[in-house]
Amino acid sequence: MEKVYITGIGKYIPKKVLTNHDIEKMVDTSDEWITTRTGIKERHVVADDQCTSDIAVLAAKEAMADAGLKPTDIDLIIVATITGDMQFPATSCVVQRKLHAKNAVAFDISAACAGFPYALSIASEYIKTGRFKHVLVIGAEALSRFTDWTDRGTCILFGDGAGAAVVSNVPGKTQSEVLSDYLGTDGTHVGLLNTPGGGSVHPATHATVDQRLHYIKMEGNAVFKIAVKSMTEAVNGILQKNELIIDDIASLIPHQANLRIIKAVGKAVKIAEERVFVNVDKYGNMSSATTIVALYDAVRSGVVRPGDLVVLVAFGGGFVWGATLIRW
Ligand SMILES: CC(C)(COP(=O)(O)OP(=O)(O)OC[C@H]1O[C@@H](n2cnc3c(N)ncnc32)[C@H](O)[C@@H]1OP(=O)(O)O)[C@@H](O)C(=O)NCCC(=O)NCCS
């Protein structure tokens, strides 16, 4: 089996900022409510002429430059997204064209907020078997296009952004190695978090649009509890699988949906608060982009240092959850 290395990372956050005060002007809410219930202060949204593949490409370019690779060196592109450019084809095909990565095959995966750990797991298996040498793994979302800006229960939570990693069979500038992953799925709660309209159940009609079914729907309270339970299981699961204890982990990098969820998971797995990375205040929940952007910020700010054992953990609609163990 080949080893799996992260040889480059990149991110792109759209320039336009939407603060809690901006949202106060749109729905009946307050900066104080959003801050205390979620920890979010602001999020970014794509420009009118930007779509998911555009921001995916910008993150990917940085990751490839970081890895010292050209687009033609990439064998496979996986885009994790729930807000693709179109219903089909895959956004990864658009990314392949925009990057001129003509040697790469490309597909998307839909694993909502767990998209990055899921995509990284697939990439790792392809590398381990020797099938591919360099895989571009991207998490990219333009959630603002699917957010109901009249629903205060959801519109406060989400933001747009993209992150990317190059995963290779040889080390890059650092020895950052993907060691293991842990994935879980429970499809019994599909109704708690979804975008019901526009699929084969409710194809787009005037009625589905009038009923706002093309926007994200969520039972926030129920999702909160399952998120804490599932991410706790994923962290404990990956530790057990690798015969580690929580004290071995230098940084926990959780999905950034809500600061209260992050704190509850940290408490449940008994890790000191200062070892749990947080950037939800700046970006909100960017779904598939969140964990890779958090890893990027943790590395670039010096929180994660070479040699550190790091656990990424995420949870999303499906429900799906996953953790990745990395020695940075
Ligand atoms: C959405 C979420 C922030 C709501 O927080 P909460 O503490 O559960 O709040 P509740 O839904 O119980 O609502 C409490 C009250 O606040 C109100 N409220 C909801 N959103 C509000 C807002 N933006 N501003 C002000 N009040 C709001 C509710 O109407 C309710 O009022 P009521 O008591 O008069 O009925 C929280 O449930 C959450 O973060 N859930 C998980 C979301 C998530 O992470 N999803 C993605 C997973 S990947």
HSE of 133, CA atoms in CB hemisphere, 13 A: 9
Cα 17 to middle of ligand 1, angstroms: 22
Mutation test of ligand 1: which of 37, 221, 259, 285 has the most ligand atoms closer than 8 Å to its C-beta?
A: 37
The pLDDT-based confidence of 177 (bands split at 50, 70, 90) is very high
Roughly what angle, to the nearest 10 degrees, separates helices 220-241 and 259-268? 40
* C-beta of residue 116 within 8 angstroms of C-beta of residue 312: yes
Check pocket membership of 257 for ligand 1, CB cut-off 6 A. Answer: yes
**Which residues have C-beta within 8 Å of that of residue 51, sequence separation ≥ 6?**
85, 142
- Residue at 173: amino acid letter: K
Q: Are 167 and 235 found together in one domain? A: no
Last residue of a domain, one of 177, 207, 226: 177
Query: How would DSSP label each residue in 98-158?
Result: HHT-TT-EEEEE--GGGHHHHHHHHHHHHHHTTS-SEEEEEEEE-GGGG--TT-TTTTTTB
Residue 217 parent element (H or E): strand 217-218
Q: Are 104 and 202 found together in one domain? A: no
Distance CA 127, CA 253 (A): 23
Q: Are 122 and 202 found together in one domain? A: no
State mean pLDDT over 299-324: 98
Check pocket membership of 158 for ligand 1, CB cut-off 6 A. Answer: no
Last residue of a domain, one of 177, 200, 218: 177
Task: Please determine, for residue 22, whether its predicted confidence score (pLDDT) is greater than 90.
Answer: yes
Distance CA 126, CA 122 (A): 6
Predicted local confidence at residue 132, as pLDDT = 98
Report the domain count for the chain. Answer: 2
Joined together, the tokens standing for residue 184 give 């879980």
Q: Are 241 and 314 found together in one domain? A: yes
State mean pLDDT over 283-305: 98
Predicted local confidence at residue 3, as pLDDT = 97
Mutation test of ligand 1: which of 36, 82, 118, 224 has the most ligand atoms closer than 8 Å to its C-beta?
A: 224
- End-to-end CA distance of the chain, in Å? 20
Q: Are 57 and 199 found together in one domain? A: no
Q: What are the catalytic residues?
A: 113, 255, 285
State mean pLDDT over 68-93: 98
Residue of 283, 279, 253, 280 whose CA lies nearest to 266: 253
Distance CA 208, CA 229 (A): 33
| 228 three-class SS | helix
CATH code of the domain covering residue 80 = 3.40.47.10
Check pocket membership of 31 for ligand 1, CB cut-off 6 A. Answer: no
Q: Are 137 and 224 found together in one domain? A: no
Q: Are 200 and 249 found together in one domain? A: yes
Average pLDDT for the chain: 98
| 187 three-class SS | helix
Predicted local confidence at residue 128, as pLDDT = 98
The residue whose C-alpha atom lies closest to atom 18 belonging to ligand 1 is 153
Last residue of a domain, one of 122, 148, 177: 177
Q: Are 147 and 257 found together in one domain? A: no
Check pocket membership of 33 for ligand 1, CB cut-off 6 A. Answer: yes
Check pocket membership of 258 for ligand 1, CB cut-off 6 A. Answer: yes
The pLDDT-based confidence of 31 (bands split at 50, 70, 90) is very high
In order of 22, 161, 203, 289, 315, the CA distances from 318 in angstroms are 31, 21, 20, 17, 9
Q: Across-strand partners of 136?
A: 77, 166
The residue whose C-alpha atom lies closest to atom 12 belonging to ligand 1 is 221
pLDDT in tens, 112-165: 999 999 999 999 999 999 999 999 999 999 999 999 999 999 999 999 999 999
Task: Please determine, for residue 204, whether its predicted confidence score (pLDDT) is greater than 90.
Answer: yes
Check pocket membership of 315 for ligand 1, CB cut-off 6 A. Answer: yes
The whole domain housing 33 covers 5-177
The residue whose C-alpha atom lies closest to atom 31 belonging to ligand 1 is 153
Which ligand 1 atom lies nearest to the CA of residue 314? 48
The residue whose C-alpha atom lies closest to atom 43 belonging to ligand 1 is 257
Predicted local confidence at residue 158, as pLDDT = 98
Joined together, the tokens standing for residue 16 give 């336009």
The residue whose C-alpha atom lies closest to atom 2 belonging to ligand 1 is 220
Task: Please determine, for residue 174, whether its predicted confidence score (pLDDT) is greater than 90.
Answer: no
The pLDDT-based confidence of 191 (bands split at 50, 70, 90) is very high
Check pocket membership of 224 for ligand 1, CB cut-off 6 A. Answer: yes
Q: Are 134 and 225 found together in one domain? A: no
State mean pLDDT over 189-198: 96
State mean pLDDT over 221-250: 98
Residue written as token pair 């420009």: 47
The pLDDT-based confidence of 260 (bands split at 50, 70, 90) is very high
Task: Please determine, for residue 48, whether its predicted confidence score (pLDDT) is greater than 90.
Answer: yes
